[in-house]
Amino acid sequence: MPAPNPIDPSPIKLSTSELFIGFTKISLSGFGGVLPWARRTIVEQKQWITAAEFNAILGICQLVPGPNIVNLAVCVGSRFGGAKGALAAVMGLMLAPIGVVLLLAMLYDHFSYLESVQGMLRGISAVGVGLIAATGFKMLREELRYPRMLLVIVVTLFIATWLRLPLGWVVFIASPLALFIAWHKTKGIT
């Protein structure tokens, strides 16, 4: 399905079944973290929204309480299908993984003492880190189209990693700079 026309900001309509099936596929693709698969599906494959829209929605979703991916499902689902769309997206995102996790929990309960199982889990965690980093680099590439946003990224990384401030403080300090630069970007000020 094509992305919305930038001249006509009204969103395309998706049925609740399209949202449910789309988010079910995302959830079943993303063992260890579905954010990379969500971006790939929503932006690159289905083209429901643009990369810039995805980054903006994800930014908002990281600021509100709850898991980022569930917040993203609510935002995308409600954008294309209202409250029913939000519910369909969240149910698609959650139902299958809950069943898989319950099954894995039972298996882990029985076999966690095996060294080979512990080694597999360490390997899987490295894959998860790689997938999250890859998504971060894709999002970074989009933001670097506006070189001044690099300043926001550097400030945010400094505050979060060097100063080790909690998320609330990071947002409180970095947001005014990001909003100022974004405002200038929309006004075409260089």
pLDDT digits (tens, 9 = 90+) for 17-75: 999 999 999 999 876 678 888 999 999 999 999 999 999 999 899 888 899 999 999 99
Q: How confident is the model at residue 7 (pLDDT cuts 50, 70, 90)?
A: very low
Question: Which residue range is the domain that position 13 belongs to?
Answer: 1-124
Residues 6 or more apart from 3 whose CB is under 8 A from it? 12, 47, 48, 49, 50
How many separate domains does the chain show?
1
Give domain status of residue 163, yes or no: no
pTM over 0.75: no
pLDDT digits (tens, 9 = 90+) for 101-146: 899 899 989 998 899 988 988 888 888 888 888 888 888 888 888 8
Give domain status of residue 79, yes or no: yes
Give domain status of residue 189, yes or no: no
Handedness of CA 75, 32, 98, 12 (dihedral sign): positive
pLDDT digits (tens, 9 = 90+) for 74-99: 999 999 999 999 999 999 999 998 99
